[in-house]
Amino acid sequence: MRVLSKGALGGQFVRYVINGLAATAIHFLVLKFNLEVVGMASAGVANGVAAIFGITASFIGSRYFVFRGTSGPLLRQGMLFLLLYACIAALHALVMHIWADRLGYDYRIGFVLATFMQMAFSFVANKFMVFK
């Protein structure tokens, strides 16, 4: 078992934030494209589709950039990551559906709120469950 110093954990967290910002940008750009170019009627559905792109970017970045010292099997990590992010994406889509579709608020603000909730869950779950 490898013991992490505060510096190593801090480095992982900084890389996690960078990776998260990149994945979130991809997620948001696809969401915006779905709503404004494709013309999807539901922000919840558009967000669900966009989440697939954000989750893929997040996994690649997590495995090879954030938690790069891990050596777990790719398939196992991929399956755990997908399970975790399927739950998080469903929560994200639900927040977007309630915020934008039901309450009629700006989808961009809902996206930010849902993303902060996602961030709170994902670092800990990835650190101790997926890329342990």
Mind listing the pLDDT tens digit for each residue in 74-95? 899 999 999 998 888 888 889 9
What's the N-to-C CA distance of the chain in angstroms? 10
Encode pLDDT of 34-77 as tens digits: 999 999 999 989 988 998 999 899 999 999 999 886 778 889 99
Element (H, E) at 99: none
pLDDT value of residue 68: 82
Mean pLDDT value across residues 108-117: 89
Q: Where are the domains of the chain?
A: 7-130
Closest CA to 63 of 45, 42, 80: 80
User: Looking up tokens 């399970």, which residue turns up?
Assistant: 83
pLDDT value of residue 3: 44
Contacts of 69 (CB under 8 A, 6+ apart): 2
Model confidence at 5: pLDDT above 80: no
Q: 66 near 19, Cβ under 8 Å?
A: yes
